[in-house]
Structure 1
Amino acid sequence: MLDAPVAVQDRPGARPLPEPARGEVRFEGVTFGYDPARPVLRNVTLTIPAGQRVALLGESGAGKSTLLGLLTRTHDPQQGRVSLDGADLRDLTLNSLHTHTAVMAQDTFLFHDTVAANVRYARPDATDAEVHAALQAAHALGFVQALPDGLNTVVGERGVRLSGGQRQRLSIARTLLARPTVLLLDEPTSAVDAQSEAQVVAALGALMQGRTALIVTHRLSLARTADRVVVVREGSIVEDGPPDVLRRHGGAYAALERAMGEAVGEELPVA
């Protein structure tokens, strides 16, 4: 794996993203397939204004996580372009792109190290005050202070000494410390129980404040906090709009919401 050639690299003349970054994201006629003969995304066009929260919903395999991968240039589209603040991602340096984007996945990775070291992984030069502020914003300071050694508590391999909700809140604090412009959240609450979910959702709200956010989720609690919901089906966008409006329309989003509500036993609001 380490010897495998890197498929995505800086092209000649690549430049950093101009500052200050705003966070406007565009997919323009994007087609992509891990096997080019079998596209996962087909002619996707989507504009996300700076600072907007967009929830991506759809069945497994619809192409939601692939959209996030294209935004970090894990892959490049076979057709069309993906841009940030009007600049084609292929014209930007990877270092600049990754400085302005942050990915939070459902499987939070913590090192066998202290709480402070795990949070500072995002920015090693962060001060103690900045670490405390990030933990507080992530609704994590309370449980951290209750640990045997506080910030100096070793969390164990992959954070085994913490609960799923605690691990996710430390990940949120770490992401806050990185100060990204664009947030890519891939099922960030799927690994937490119902009791922890409210705290994690509140922490995510603080994380997304003032930032562009794309949220892949199957949880109603997150989808309902979005400014827009985009429903993806078989690689194409089939519905796009505010969640309340889409619910009243009774289309794809309303059907997904009913199905998710039945799955988790959650009572849906009356449209």
Structure 2
Amino acid sequence: MIINRLSIDIPAGQRVAVIGECGAGKSSLLGMLSGYLSPTDGAILYDGYNLGHLSQNFFSQHLSVVTTHDVLFTGTIESNFALKPQNDRGRVLKALHLANCGFILQHPMGLKFPVNFMAKNLSSGQQQQLLLARSLSSNASVFLWDEPTSNLDENTEKQIFDNLDEFIHGKTLIMVTHRRYLIKYFDRVLVMKGGKIIRDCSPDKLLM
């Protein structure tokens, strides 16, 4: 979906939910904010700096992205989290707890639990929980998530979001979701249609 004449300002520390029908441009917007896609006109500014001019080191330090195409790598849970050098064991365990990954925390192998090729020994929901935990374990200032809990049940989602402040208090979160019951956890909601933002309001106003 082409993003058309879109202009938004997201203050640091704000939590923004992006909703809309399939094909509305939500994932394209997140792709541009994460640097995966480049605008053909205009610019995306991060703290006044053009995102297109920033280094890969900047992206790895300041942005934590979860897309619908992310995968776990063959190896162990520990090796998947070791991709982020700032991670320590305590932080990883805390992130796994927050993402409700009891299936790892309570397993005898713990962080040594093996991840098979294409993570086929894990359910789609478990994979999402681990990808979310990997993101949460980073020390990023901006989190960009594209439907990170779409394969989880409502109860598990709510358990995760009820404790979100534990890791990302004061940090920026922009998340694409189809689950309207999750928007209460956000400060602001952007409703997209046809590559445009057709509504920008608080969750309370949207749910009225």
Q: Which runs of 5+ in 1 are unaligned?
A: 1-32, 34-39, 249-271
The aligned amino acid for 1:139 is N
Q: Give the whole-Å Cα distance in 2 for the aligned partners of 1:246 and 1:128.
A: 40
TM-score by length of 2: 0.87
1:84-108 superposed Cα distances (whole Å, 9 cap, x missing partner): 0111112322331342111112355
User: In the alignment, what sits opposite 1:56?
Assistant: 18
- Post-superposition offset of 1:168: 2.1
State the shift of 1:205 in Å. 5.4
Q: Where has structure 1 moved over 6 Å in runs of 4 or more?
A: none
Give the Cα–Cα distance (whole angstroms) in 1 for the partners of residues 129 and 97 of structure 2.
Answer: 10
RMSD (Å) for aligned C-alpha atoms? 2.2
Instruction: Give the structure 2 partner of residue 198 of structure 1.
Output: 158
Q: Which moved more, 1:154-163 or 1:213-222?
A: 154-163
- What is the percentage of aligned positions where both structures have the same residue? 38
Aligned residues: 208
Give, as a single letter, the amino acid of the residue that structure 2 aligns with 1:67. Answer: L
| 1:66 pairs with 2:24 | no
How does the TM-score come out when normalised to structure 1?
Answer: 0.69
Tell me, what secondary structure is at the counterpart of 1:69?
helix
Q: Residues 94 and 112 (structure 1 numbering): CA distance in 2 closer, same or farther, change over 3 Å?
A: closer
Match of 1:170 in 2: 130
Residues 66-121 of structure 1 show CA distances to partners (whole Å, capped at 9, x for unaligned) of: 11111122222122211001111123223313421111123551122222112222
User: Which residue of structure 2 lines up, in the alignment, with residue 229 of structure 1?
Assistant: 189
Question: Relative contact order (C-alpha < 8 Å, sep 6+): which is higher?
Answer: 2
Q: Distance in 2 between matches of 1:206 and 1:107?
A: 26
Pair member with larger Rg: 1
> 1:159/1:153 Cα in 2 relative to 1: closer, same or farther (>3 Å)?
same
Cα distance, 1:222–1:208 mapped onto 2, change above 3 Å: farther
Q: What is the aligned partner in structure 2 of residue 91 from structure 1? A: 53
Aligned to 2:176: 216
Gaps of 5+ in 2: none
Supply the distance in 1 between the matched residues of 2:170 and 2:29 (Cα, whole angstroms): 21
Find the residue that maps to 2:131 and give its secondary structure. Answer: helix
